[in-house]
Structure 1
Amino acid sequence: MASGAERLLEVLAAHGVEVVFGLPGVHNLELWEALRGSGIRLVGVRHEQTAVYAADGHARATGGLGVALVTTGPGAANCLGATGEAFASGSSVLVVATDIPSTLRRPGEYRGALHETRDQRAMFLPVVKGGWTLRTTDSIGTYADSAALLATSAPRGPVYLGVPTDFLRADAGGWSRIPTRVPATPDVTAGVDLVAAARRPLIWAGGGAARAGAGEAVAALSERIGAPVVTTYGARGLVDHPHVVHGPVHLPEVGALWDEADLVVGVGSDFDGVMTQDWLQPAPPKLLSVNVETVRNYTPDVTLRGDARAVVAALVDAVPARPDDGLAQRVAELNGLVRKAVEADEPDAVPLLDALEGHRVVVDMCVAGYWVGGFGRFTRPRELAYPVGWGTLGFGFPASLGAALTGRVVAVCGDGGFLFACGDLATAAQERLPVTVVLVDDGGYGMLRHDQVSGGREPFGVDLANPDFVALARSFGVEASAVGGFGAAFRDRLADYTRRDGPNVLVVRARLKPPPTTSPRWYRKVRT
């Protein structure tokens, strides 16, 4: 018979999991023993938060389930920030945390057992899609299967599974997979008349469209109804098509598409505050929402529920064709205006954006990352991972470790955020992960420095005494070098580093002005 640990790994393998990220503790060592011969790769990290960030990065890169294995109490608590990011960004992550032995637990009492918490599951509930703590030894297969299905079902999100440590050694009993439901053919009748009546439609594609693989369907709908396509951070690279706008709605030139539209077709988007400038974008005259949930930030006239790819494909077949032969040219001209706006606003950002084109990129919450997230040119799905959900500083480097298991990735980090998880340079080195860190050293928290200065105050508490980042990386056995600015030396070194094996760090000493996607520079203002 299989032990609980063996059964858990069996279920994960059945869901296509080939790698897990984790940190061992006294309570979860049975999982490490079971992993020895399981065929699942273990990537050991140096902090539990990295385990969840890496699982998140892997889930975003693959479209599958990312798994973090952590220990009890403080180990589990260390995961909460990263789990919140996965929740807000809709990432399929399973956090498996051990709990104290069931034999030591007394309901309603805190006894002071090692790593005990009053209710470990309760810590996670605000930042997960769902969560369970096992109550019987023979339930691990069923609950692990349910947790994996929940995490990977739309709307995707992280799930918590708590396992008392003694259950990992106990007989797990049997289990049978929960059958997956065959989705019904979507009924788009309610949206057809709305689309047919529109003369200036706009397609607004969000992260749900990307997670559903709806890019080709969105492009087909755009061609059929003559609608430009704007993408949110979560949908960058959704599809390479001449109707896709290459800049964010935070530029007035792009925002005008929203203002002029008589119908917005929202695909897999909840129209969050970051994209809509805290909902200062006026409600469109008509809104058709394609989503698995009810959109609350704007009131849809019609909601078509279901898988974004299937629903949009059905719309393409059902709505009358009204192609716009001049749309591609107008979008090309708009994209030219976006490029000129970047060149005029922050010319030093242009070579950074150009050098990253064609690479898969994970960015942190830093000024350089904001430029890349808003204005980087991405043409394939899953080319960009951005912490748009919670906006968690420190996301970039650890998330890139999970993404790098699928091939070379570039992590764009600031000096402050990189220090959150710099110890996991050891993980990158030990696992020979193909990640290139572009570490922009501006001597502090550049965005916050900007906020203080633009408010007429002297910088205070935002400048940092940084280590020698090149020496730091080399001390872990990671190749590293430094350049000044984003000129030719940066371009050539980045091209060289991204062709090599294993990890490397490129330190760039530069300061960039925050882009217009950042809230202090939003062009839409509260009316007073």
Structure 2
Amino acid sequence: MPDVTGPTSGGEALVAALVAHGVDTVFGIPGTHNLEIYRHLLAHGVRHVGTRHEQGAGYAADGYARTTGRVGVALVTTGPALLNAVAAIGQAYSDSVPVLVVSPGLPLRHPAAGNGLLHETKDQQGAMRAVAAASLRPTSVEDIPVAVAQAFAIMTHGRPRPVHLEVPLDVLLETTDGPATGPAGACHRLAPTAPAGVVTEAAAWLDDAAFPVILAGGGANRAAAELRAVAERLGAPVVTTTNGKGVLPEDHPLALGAGIHLPVVRDLVTEADVVLAVGTELAPADLWNGPLPLAGRLVRIDIDPVAMVTNALPDLGLVGDSARVLADLLVALGGEPARRDPIDLLGWRERKRADAEREGATWLPLVRALSAALPRDVVLGTDNAMFCYYGMLANLPVHEPSSYLFPTGYGTLGYGLPAAIGAKVGNPDRPVVAVLGDGGLMFTVAELATAAELGLTLPVVVVDNRGYGEIRHEMTGRGDPVHAVTFEAPDFAALGRSLGCLGTTVDDPVDLTAAVRVGLLADRPTVIHVRHHERAAPAGGGEHA
């Protein structure tokens, strides 16, 4: 660690403050205006992972954050570079991911009407406020550690959200005579819980229920052990949203898996007399087919009091950290299992399986071939591709929380590859596989070069259905002219090889298993181009492409 007892520039104060909050890795691209930050990264022991596009840096920071539980940091320069990252920050906001995007800003005394400075943007902070939880702008070197502490407070307390930190160009270059002062040390997540009386009442409702059901979202990922204990105590089946997939191992007897949008889940919650929803917005992007027909009592656990009363009003709301509230709920329930007639779990599992296979029929051979190759602790970086949400979501088992990385809500394309890179950087000993469609991969295909340069063992499965298949089906369903959605993909295997990866092409689903297994042993990324021809249109699933 360098000696910072002498004059400290704004750039060094920024890097030192990030390190004080536990940051040791950043994803980004250097540029003219952020060089004073880059100058100090190596001296402070911060690893820089260079991406080929700022959107890729944002997605990589997202994947890193989801899988490590730490803040992911994207470091970009001004104007167009920062705006390139906007889609990724919007996605992190939608999925409640703590990503800090750091950029320079225009000088403090920059003319209000502008003067043509390089990368000049009229309202850079305004653009970021539209997609992030906040945009902070320190105005002195001494203020930088304060702003960093404020950013971490926003990201690590309450509902995780991304934050933008903008340091003016002249402040980056200014120096202070001694070390910059301000809050030091990482913010530790508080674990607030609901009032004891409310927890006791919720426990009584659940214990007395004849048919309790648990719905778990992304907000339950850091409460996997507590969720499992409550489910086992109640004997309650668990269904998850996309972001909650894997929070309960999907081969657990109580796990019905992901796919909260399926018709069987609507029947399930209609029959339930108490539904416990943990860390889920119950959002249209999860449900696809309108709100759930909740017939019994709804108990919600959520860190966000606004989310608590959005989409479905609870009969009982427990605002607090999911792990803490579930732990308190378990204590209130006591150790004796509930006395009730056994729930027909096997019947519900079979109905769920039938619904999932019906929806994903076109993709089942590929899903089964991929599943056969995956280790139990795999992380999947997926994209808004038909194979991922019709095929894999409800049919491919996942057994660890925060292991199915998918861009829900905001619904960006190109997420899967850079998110998988970020996950692998943050979890070098875990197997990671990226799965994308041919249309989505082209949004961030340059990040194949990033993965190759890093020497990552990373199978990249590209399921090629010749364009934007979902939109093609929607055009057909509307009776519209079908155009602008079908195109021939490049030879992705050859493209991967040209960027330093291995590459192979799969025409028969049975060959995908071996290709992924080989890719999981390779010394570099492996692009696996799966040429798939759709046989039937599945049921509609929203604005996916």
Work out whether the TM-score is over 0.5.
yes
In structure 2, how many angstroms separate the alpha carbons of the residues matched to 1:390 and 1:202?
Answer: 28
**Equivalence for 2:3:** none
Conserved? CA contact 1:27–1:100, under 8 Å: no
| Aligned counterparts of 2:79 and 2:420: Cα–Cα separation in 1 | 26
The equivalent of 1:231 in structure 2 is 240
From 199, 203, 217, the equivalent of 1:206 is: 217
Q: Structure 2 CA distance, aligned partners of 1:308 and 1:138? A: 36
Distance 1:444 1:520 in 2: 15
Q: CA deviation at 1:208?
A: 0.9
Aligned match of 2:142 = 138
Shift of 1:444: 0.7
State the match for 1:168 in structure 2: 172
- Superposed displacement of residue 375, structure 1: 2.8
Query: Are the counterparts in 2 of residues 400 and 409 from structure 1 also a CA contact under 8 Å?
Result: yes
Does 306-315 or 94-103 show the bigger shift?
94-103
Shift of 1:111: 2.6
2:75 paired residue number: 69
Counterpart contact for 1:353–1:377, Cα < 8 Å: no
| Matching residue of 1:374 | 394
Matches within 5 A, 1:443-522: 443-487=466-510, 489-512=511-534, 513=536, 516=539, 518-519=541-542
Question: Using the alignment, how far apart are the partners of 1:509 and 1:188 within structure 2?
Answer: 56
SS in 1 for 2:282: coil
CA displacement at 1:459 relative to structure 2 = 2.4
What residue identity is the alignment partner of 2:484?
G
Partner of 2:261: 250
In the alignment, is residue 12 of structure 1 matched against residue 8 of structure 2? no
Deviation at 1:360, TM superposition (A): 1.4
State the partner residue of 1:298: 312
Q: Pick from 278, 300, 304: which aligns with 1:267?
A: 278
* Equivalent in 218, 230, 234 of residue 221 of structure 1: 230
The 3 A distance-change label for structure 1 pair 180 and 18 is closer
Alignment partner of 1:117 is 2:139: no
Supply the RMSD in Å over aligned alpha carbons: 2.3
Q: CA deviation at 1:341?
A: 4.0
Q: Deviation per CA, 1:87-132: give whole Å up to 9, x if none.
A: 00001100001112334x13x4323222112221110112111121
Q: Would you say the 8 A contact 1:53–1:399 is kept in 2?
A: yes
Gaps of 5+ in 1: 522-528
How far has the Cα of 1:425 moved from its partner? Answer: 1.5
Unaligned runs of 5+ in 2: 1-5
Cα distance, 1:322 vs. partner? Answer: 4.6
The one-character-per-residue Cα deviations of 1:316-341 (angstroms, maximum 9, x if unpaired) are 111365536875x8334433333344
Cα distance in 2 for partners of 1:69, 1:344 equals 44
Deviations 1:349-394 (A, max 9, x none): 3343332343310110011111222332111112110101301111
Match of 2:99 in 1: 93
Identity of aligned residues (%): 35
Q: Find the counterpart in structure 2 of residue 311 from structure 1.
A: 325
Verify: 1:38 aligned to 2:44, yes or no.
yes
The one of 335, 338, 343 equivalent to 1:323 is 338
Q: Tell me if the contact between 1:100 and 1:116 (Cα under 8 Å) persists in the aligned partners.
A: yes
Residue 338 to residue 200, structure 1, CA distance change in 2 (3 Å)? closer
3-state secondary structure, aligned to 1:447 = helix
The 10-residue stretch of structure 1 (88-97 or 342-351) with the greater mean CA deviation from structure 2 = 342-351
Q: Deviations over 1:255-308 (max 9, x none)?
A: 311111122111111110122335332244321111122321111122111110
Q: What is aligned with 1:526? A: none
Distance 1:254 1:301, change over 3 A: closer
Matches of 2:158 and 2:397, distance apart in 1: 27
Number of the residue aligned with 2:132: 128
Q: Which amino acid aligns with 1:338?
A: K
Residue 420 (structure 1) aligns with: 443
Q: Deviations over 1:404-463 (max 9, x none)?
A: 211331111111110111112211111112321100111111111121223344521101
Q: 2:200 aligns with which of 192, 198, 223?
A: 192
**Alignment-mate amino acid for residue 330 of structure 2:** V
- Give the counterpart letter for 1:466 in structure 2: A
1:350 to 364, 374, 380: 364
Give the alignment partner of residue 391 of structure 1, picking from 407, 411, 435. 411
In the aligned structure 1, how far is the partner of 2:295 from the partner of 2:322? 21
CA contact (8 A) 2:380 2:432 kept: yes
Deviation of the 1:13 alpha carbon: 2.0
- Number of aligned residue pairs: give it: 515
Report what 1:157 is aligned to.
161
TM-score of the two chains, using structure 2 as the length reference: 0.89
In terms of mean alpha carbon deviation, does 215-224 or 457-466 score higher? Answer: 457-466
